[in-house]
Amino acid sequence: MAEEGPFTDISGKPISLECQNYTPFCREFTVSSPKVSLLKVMGYTCSVWLLAYAVFFLTENTTVLSSAIMVTLVGMILHIHFVKVDQETLLIIGSLGIQLSSLYASGRESTTFIEMSKIKDIVINEAIYMQSIIYYLCILIKDPSEPDGVASVVPLFQSSKPRLNCLVRVYKSCQEIIAQSR
Amino acid sequence: MVLKIFFPKCCNTADSGLLVGRWIPGQDSAVVLAVIHYPFIPGQVKKYLTQMRSQTKVDLTVLGSWSMPKDGQEGMDSFLKDLSTIFPHSRWLQLSRESGKRAFTCRVVQENGKPAAKKDGDDNDDDDDKDKIIFVHYDQRKVMLSQLHPVQEQKGSEEESTELRTMFQTVAQSEPLFFHDMYDEGALKLTHWQSEGREASIIVELVKQASVPVCIVLTWLLSVWHWLCSFRIFHVWPVQFISSKLSTCVQTGYRTDHFQTVFSTRKATTHMEFMRKANIFVSFLVDIALGLLLISWLYRENRISQLANTLVPAADHVAKELQELLEWLMGAPAGLKMNRALDQVLGRFFLYHIHLWISYIRLMSPFIEMILWYVGLTACLGLTFALSVLSDIVALLTFHIYCFYVYGARLYYLKIYGLSSLWRLFRGKKWNVLRQRVDSCSYDLDQLFIGTLLFTILLFLLPTTALYYLVFTLLRLVVVMFQGLIHLSVDFINSFPLFAMGLRLCRPYRVAEGVKFQVLSEEPGTPLHLRMEINPLKFSSVLQCYRTPTYSCYPKDSWVALCKKLFIGELVYPWRQKSTKTD
């Protein structure tokens, strides 16, 4: 599979895509986000602590300092456990279903599996995000009451937000498998 | 088409034999439930399967053969191939595994003897039939015990069940199949999850046996209680009215309902019924434990007498504060000039009430300690009871504030009503009751004169009444909010599904939201092997799904409606209890 240059996300940061082909009908795509930058962490910590020192200088109360430390620690823990996504994986198994999983920076993994009988199609959609228009890959879920309708849309790779070249690669592979299982 | 075979992990190392399971209708998949080992008599296998089919209501069949050749068993392969003629089948699976290799090989044979898909490196006419088999390895015990959410209770929706749901149901319903295993003395030797080690707990079995007579006794006690409650004296109107207002009685009725659910001798048939029973039972036990804890804290070091000794001075203090408040209102509160006469009348009226109240408290003060002591004992019925009793005591102690609020509100309401009617007269209009609208009307001169006079009087007396109304409404709202907090906590204790939460923490596979797949590293040229694990439900979904329905307290009116009612002077009951339970 020819590489079309390094992949980036919508804000220009470099991401990486890994495709693994287990069998002709089972493929796995992993998109890795850039790691937490040390400079940013240091910047936030320093600003919080400078603020705490300023307040301490004014009020002479030492609990301000200890609470600032606690706040920084708790904030970092919450960030890496709930917010920072390291990798997003899409595992597509023909005639069984599609599995989406997100790996957080603390090691927590959250997985969802959608059965093939519920999936109508995988498409690339456009969306207006803040001031720009972005492309995103999504799964259309069938509506049980309406044979041609779409009950809901599940967007993929929401944290890493890759650009169109990466999405097209994933889209083409998935369409091959979905076409087989129809 | 891709053929999916769900294979239990416990049979990975089983000896050669026959595969027993079920073909999932409508899908190209099979669930393997057990392996029957040699030696066996085909007639006995067929008889056993028929028996199992009627017991489990699952159409079990022989799916194929499994061969894991050990040393000295090379002749097995041909023997296995002949077996397909003995058992009726539409497709026959021939799975085999070499010891030392991790992957399986599989051949599928159709009924007419021709192979439907061959799995080896030979050149074939249909190239795309190769590699079209998926093995999904599942943990049989966990799948058997787990329940997929959202729970579908209807039996008749077979065609709407997805493949995974059907597979879970198949394994769960095949429990009688797992009673005999290869170590039993019997005609057939099977391998399934029980072969890894028999599991049973003596305590659980004893509790199950003991629970039946206990339930019978408790149901009888409940029926006696119901008979007592059905006496006519309890249905006379004043008693019924009071008991509907006291939250203790409401809580008692509610708990009785609970007990009826839990202690009924009928076994729970569906999953939701079982979970509800278990949740109620565990909540009740925790409630009692917390109540006993409260009692042990309350009754040592003479806390009751301390409490009683502080109660009368506290009531005195509240009364004194109220008196000061009234004196302040009777003067020039916040610089406003009040109408002297009305002020004095209202102030004295309320002061007399407070005086009555204080005398009543002083009369009761020698008995307070004894009353508190006995009332505190009711906490052994549960923490919710203690909280309900506290809420009732607060309501009784602040009864005078409630009375003041009602007086002030009624007075204010009458004044507003009169003012609005006389304002219409002032403008020459009238309220048409028949048409429910404002019509113009010509009044006589003396009607107009008296009307205008009264209007002026009422208008200038409005600030005084409004101020009294405002003060007492605020006091009443403070009390109502405190009672509301207590009710909220009682409601929380009642409805929190402790058993479901505990299950999610300790046995997460029993409450399943879905499944997770992991690709097992395989050798090239072998079918795809996946490991299926159970994805447990999120905690918030557990709470939402298993909340016991309660008479939850909720604000009856929205904020806008509440403000409007307060402005007009209508009596406000902000917390309203639902009379019917909703799910």
Q: What is the pLDDT of residues A122-153, one digit of tens each?
A: 999 999 988 999 999 999 999 888 888 889 99
Gap from B515 CA to chain A (nearest CA, Å): 6
Query: Domain residues of chain A, as ranges?
Result: 7-34+86-181, 38-82
Partner B contacted by A36 (CB < 8 A):
no
**Contact between chains at A99 and B516 (C-beta distance less than 8 A):** yes
Q: In chain B, which residues have their Cβ closer than 8 Å to the Cβ of A24?
A: 131
Describe the strand order of the beta sheet including A119-129 as a list of residue ranges. Answer: A119-129, A132-142, A150-155
Contact between B294 and B383 under an 8 Å Cβ cutoff? The reply is yes
Q: What's the 3-state SS for B155-170?
A: CCCHHHCCHHHHHHHH
Minimal-distance CA residue of chain A relative to B527:
A23
Task: Measure CA B42 to chain center.
Answer: 50
Compare B281 and B188 and report the one with higher pLDDT. Answer: B281
User: Which among B4, B163, B530 is the nearest to A117, CB-wise?
Assistant: B163
Looking at residue B118, what is its pLDDT?
A: 42
DSSP for A2-23 reads: ---S-EEBTTS-EEEEEEEEEE
Looking at residue A154, what is its pLDDT?
A: 93
Minimal-distance CA residue of chain A relative to B3:
A95
**Contact between chains at A111 and B131 (C-beta distance less than 8 A):** no
Q: Report the C-alpha gap between A2 and A56 in whole angstroms.
A: 58
DSSP for B277-306 reads: HHHHHHHHHHHHHHHHHHHHHHSSTTHHHH
Partner B contacted by A82 (CB < 8 A):
no
**Contact between chains at B535 and A113 (C-beta distance less than 8 A):** yes
Give the pLDDT band (50/70/90) at residue B127: very low
Q: In chain A, which residues have their Cβ closer than 8 Å to the Cβ of B28?
A: 95
Q: What is the mean pLDDT of chain B?
A: 80
- Interface confidence, given as ipTM, is 0.84
State the DSSP H helix or E strand holding residue B456, giving kind and residue range, or none if neither.
helix B445-495
Which of the 8 DSSP states describes residue B537?
P
Q: In chain A, which residues have their Cβ closer than 8 Å to the Cβ of B530?
A: 93, 96
Range with the poorest average pLDDT among A36-40, B6-10, B15-19: B15-19
Q: In chain A, which residues have their Cβ closer than 8 Å to the Cβ of B134?
A: 26, 93, 95-96
Q: What is the pLDDT of residues A94-126, one digit of tens each?
A: 888 999 999 999 999 999 999 988 899 999 999
**Contact between chains at A28 and B519 (C-beta distance less than 8 A):** yes
Partner B contacted by A112 (CB < 8 A):
yes
Q: Is B579 exposed, middle or buried (0-12, 13-18, 19+ CB in 10 A)?
A: exposed
DSSP for B92-150 reads: EEEEEE-TT---EEEEEEETTS-EEE--SSS--S-GGGTT-EEEEEE-HHHHHH-EESS
Q: Report the C-alpha gap between B405 and B169 in whole angstroms.
A: 61
Q: What is the pLDDT of residues B142-169, one digit of tens each?
A: 888 888 887 776 655 555 677 888 888 8
Percentage of chain B exceeding pLDDT 90: 7
Give the pLDDT band (50/70/90) at residue B574: low
Q: Which residues of B17-51 are buried (b: 16+ CB within 10 A; e: fewer)?
A: bbbbbbbbeebbbbbbbbbbbeebeeeebeebbee
> Highest mean pLDDT: which of B71-85, B324-338, B376-390?
B376-390
Contact between B451 and B412 under an 8 Å Cβ cutoff? The reply is no
Torsion sign over Cα B263, B269, B272, B278: positive
Minimal-distance CA residue of chain B relative to A180:
B1
Q: Report the C-alpha gap between B292 and B302 in whole angstroms.
A: 17
Give the pLDDT band (50/70/90) at residue B64: confident
CATH of domain A7-34+86-181: 2.30.29.30
Contact between A33 and A159 under an 8 Å Cβ cutoff? The reply is yes
Residue A162's SS3 state is strand
Alpha helical stretches, state H, A26-100:
38-59, 63-78
Q: What is the pLDDT of residues B240-270, one digit of tens each?
A: 777 777 777 778 878 878 877 777 767 777 8
Looking at residue B221, what is its pLDDT?
A: 84
Gap from B413 CA to chain A (nearest CA, Å): 52
Q: Is A10 exposed, middle or buried (0-12, 13-18, 19+ CB in 10 A)?
A: middle
Q: Report the C-alpha gap between A135 and B93 in whole angstroms.
A: 46
Which residues 125-154 of A are in CB contact (within 8 Å) with B? 144
Torsion of CA B38, B42, B48, B50, to 10 degrees: 150
**Contact between chains at B517 and A99 (C-beta distance less than 8 A):** yes
- Interface probe with A: pick from B516, B529, B531, most Cβ of A within 10 Å: B516
**Contact between chains at A95 and B160 (C-beta distance less than 8 A):** no
Describe the strand order of the beta sheet including A109-115 as a list of residue ranges. Answer: A7-8, A14-23, A26-32, A85-93, A97-104, A109-115
Contact between A22 and B131 under an 8 Å Cβ cutoff? The reply is no
In degrees rounded to 5, what are phi and psi of residue B188?
A: -120, 145
Q: In chain A, which residues have their Cβ closer than 8 Å to the Cβ of B514?
A: 112-113
Minimal-distance CA residue of chain B relative to A20:
B519
Residue B399, Ramachandran bin (φ over 0: left; ψ between -120 and 50: alpha; else beta): alpha
Partner B contacted by A118 (CB < 8 A):
yes
Cβ-based neighbour number of residue B344 at 10 Å: 12
Looking at residue B199, what is its pLDDT?
A: 67
Contact between B353 and B381 under an 8 Å Cβ cutoff? The reply is no
Q: In chain A, which residues have their Cβ closer than 8 Å to the Cβ of B131?
A: 23-25
- Interface probe with B: pick from A90, A100, A101, A111, most Cβ of B within 10 Å: A111
Q: Report the C-alpha gap between B385 and B397 in whole angstroms.
A: 18
Minimal-distance CA residue of chain A relative to B538:
A110
Average pLDDT over residues B361-381: 82
Partner A contacted by B520 (CB < 8 A):
no
* Statement: the pTM of the whole predicted model exceeds 0.90: no
Question: CB under 8 Å to B391, separation ≥6 — which residues?
Answer: B247, B483, B486, B487, B490
Give the pLDDT band (50/70/90) at residue A5: low
Q: Report the C-alpha gap between B485 and B495 in whole angstroms.
A: 15
